[in-house]
Structures are given as structure tokens and as C-alpha cells.
């Protein structure tokens, strides 16, 4: 069995910091990741994990029988990921060092499932639309998108919520695009880029429906139990 955890140092929340200051890779699965594993087990088909970092979710999906395309813009993450894979898992994995969505052009109508876990926050509104449209085109009919990202509803982050509310009242399509979070939340300077797209359930649902998806499930969940960070997630199917 592959154990990538022993080559990465995990903190008390079982997360590993990214090498490019793009947040943390989490080894404890969210609802979206768990649904991604379940669909891998059910179909044993073709999957993609976009913004995979060290591939925690990709390994699980491959262990359940999926073939997984592991995509990340940071080559070092993919190198670390590949270092310790068992031959059995290696045969089910392919990596691509590309920036999503601009450089990612996969086979159309080919994928059973695509995971976007903690990656949409790094896009801006026009790229979000392009991302959802591309994911829709890559999926087979019946294929599913598994999405999880950060919402503006975290206790202590009222300053973010205020900007989001203002943008929502202005009728922006993707309220929550904030280009100066280092000023608003100085602690994030060591862990995140200065521009972050926060997402709410309502607008994530709307964007997915506009791209052609049917929403199977959506909601909010804490980042880890007893933590105040609220993540938004959606599982959406291509009809
Ligand atoms: C916060 S980590 C999430 C890792 C993992 N998916 C998880 O949920 O734990 C974000 C990852 O997305 C990658 N990333 C950020 N923007 C990206 C983009 N536009 N295209 C591809 N990868 C991207 C980063 O390099 C990083 O590895």
C-alpha cells in the first residue's frame, strides 16, 4: 500500500503545506473527496484530480480501482507525489504539470469524475466560468464534478464577508473575489496568494447549472471538526 504521509510532514490537522504558498493539502477527506472515492469504487473508471498537490485523493481513488490523471501547476508537488508510489498505484496514475483551466485540454466526454478540491479559490470570475465549462466538456454523460472550496462564512473573517456581501448586493456573478486579502487578513500572507475567490453555495449552484450540470448535493462543512472555517461543496452530474 502507498503511504505518501511518511514523506511529508503533516501538522496537527493532518495537512501538508504547499510549496508554492497555495494553502494546505489535506489528508482527511471532505464530503466531496469521499464522494469522489465512492464514485471511483463504483465505476473503476477514468478520473481527474485537478489542483491535486501531493495527490492524497488521487491515491485513494486509484486504490479503489480508478485510473487517475493528477494535475497541478506546481511541478514540485507532483515530483513529491510520484516519489513513493507503489508499482500497482503507479500503473493507474498519470501526472500533468499544467495550469487549470487555461492549459488543461483533456479528452471530451471521457471522464467519470473530476475532483476540484480547494483549487477554485485560486481562479478569478472569468476563469471560474471557463473552468466549469471545461470540466463539463471533459465528463461523460453521467460523469460527476466533485467540488470543494472556501466560503466567506468563517468566524473571524467578517472583513471578507463584508466585501462579499457588498459584491453580492451589486449583483456580481461571482461575489467574493477579493484581491487584497493580505491587507484584510495579514496572517494569510504566509499561506495564500493575495487574490482569492471565496464561493457561496447559491452562486456555485448557479454557475454549475449555467454550465449544464444538475446539482446532486451541495452544502457547507467545517474544514476539520471543531474548526470555524466553512467550506462550500457541490457534487454535480452531467446529464
Ligand atoms: C490548497 S491545495 C489543495 C490540495 C488538495 N486538492 C486538497 O484539497 O487538499 C491547492 C493546490 O492547487 C494547485 N493549484 C492552484 N492553482 C492551480 C491552477 N490554476 N491549476 C492547477 N493547479 C493549481 C496548487 O499548486 C496546490 O497544489
Question: To which H or E segment does residue 148 belong?
Answer: strand 139-150
Ligand 1 contact via 104 beta carbon (within 6 Å):
no
Pick the residue whose CA is nearest to atom 14 on ligand 1.
Answer: 51
Ligand 1 contact via 115 beta carbon (within 6 Å):
no
Establish if 85 belongs to a structural domain: yes
Establish if 113 belongs to a structural domain: yes
CB 214 within 8 A of CB 3: no
Distance of CA 171 to the CA centre of its chain: 25
Residues 6+ apart with CB under 8 A from 222: 228, 229, 230, 231
Mean confidence (pLDDT) of the chain: 94
Establish if 73 belongs to a structural domain: yes
Ligand 1 contact via 59 beta carbon (within 6 Å):
no
- Domain total for the chain? 1
Whole-number Å distance, alpha carbon 97 to ligand 1 midpoint, is 11
Establish if 207 belongs to a structural domain: yes
* pLDDT tens string 45-101: 999 999 999 999 999 999 999 999 999 999 999 999 999 899 999 999 999 999 999
List the one residue out of 198, 149, 144 whose CA is nearest residue 174.
Answer: 198
Pick the residue whose CA is nearest to atom 27 on ligand 1.
Answer: 53
List the one residue out of 137, 153, 128, 124 whose CA is nearest residue 206.
Answer: 128
Q: Among 14-18, 70-74, 84-88, 153-157, which stretch is predicted with the lowest mean pLDDT? A: 153-157
| Residue 226 pLDDT | 56
**Is residue 154 pLDDT above 50, yes or no?**
yes
Q: Compute the average pLDDT of residues 92-112.
A: 98
Whole-number Å distance, alpha carbon 84 to ligand 1 midpoint, is 20
Flag whether the pTM goes above 0.75.
yes
Percent of the chain with pLDDT over 70: 95
Pick the residue whose CA is nearest to atom 12 on ligand 1.
Answer: 51
Q: Compute the average pLDDT of residues 101-105.
A: 98
Ligand 1 contact via 188 beta carbon (within 6 Å):
no
Atom of ligand 1 nearest to the CA of 115: 6
* pLDDT tens string 176-229: 999 999 999 999 999 999 999 999 999 999 999 999 999 999 999 987 655 566
Range of the domain at 28: 4-151+199-237
| Residue 8 pLDDT | 82
Residue 33 in grid coordinates = 473527496
Helix%, strand%, coil% for the chain, nearest 5: 35, 25, 40
CATH of the domain at 12: 3.40.50.150
| Residue 22 pLDDT | 97
Q: Does residue 11 sit in helix, strand or coil?
A: coil
Amino acid at each position: 500500500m502507498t503511504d505518501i504521509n511518511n514523506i511529508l510532514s503533516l501538522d496537527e490537522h493532518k495537512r501538508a503545506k504547499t510549496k508554492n504558498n497555495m494553502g494546505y493539502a489535506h489528508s482527511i477527506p471532505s464530503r466531496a473527496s469521499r464522494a469522489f472515492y465512492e464514485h471511483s469504487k463504483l465505476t473503476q473508471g477514468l478520473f481527474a484530480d485537478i489542483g491535486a498537490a501531493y495527490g492524497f485523493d488521487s491515491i485513494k481513488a486509484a486504490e479503489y480501482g480508478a485510473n487517475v490523471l493528477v494535475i497541478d501547476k506546481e511541478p514540485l508537488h507532483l515530483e513529491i507525489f510520484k516519489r513513493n508510489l507503489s508499482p500497482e498505484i503507479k500503473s493507474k496514475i498519470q501526472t500533468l504539470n499544467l495550469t487549470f483551466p487555461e492549459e488543461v485540454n483533456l479528452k471530451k466526454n471521457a471522464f467519470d469524475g473530476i475532483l476540484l478540491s480547494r483549487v477554485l479559490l485560486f481562479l478569478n470570475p472569468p476563469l471560474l466560468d471557463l473552468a466549469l465549462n471545461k470540466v463539463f466538456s471533459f465528463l461523460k454523460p453521467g460523469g460527476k464534478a466533485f467540488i470543494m472550496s472556501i466560503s466567506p462564512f468563517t468566524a473571524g473573517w467578517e472583513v471578507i464577508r463584508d466585501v462579499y456581501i457588498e459584491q453580492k448586493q451589486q449583483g456580481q456573478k461571482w461575489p467574493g473575489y477579493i484581491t487584497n486579502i493580505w491587507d484584510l487578513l495579514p496572517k494569510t500572507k504566509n499561506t495564500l496568494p493575495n487574490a482569492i475567490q471565496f464561493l457561496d453555495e447559491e452562486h456555485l449552484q448557479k454557475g454549475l447549472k449555467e454550465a449544464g450540470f444538475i446539482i446532486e448535493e451541495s452544502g457547507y462543512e467545517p474544514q476539520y471538526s471543531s474548526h470555524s472555517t466553512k467550506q462550500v461543496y457541490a457534487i454535480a452530474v452531467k446529464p
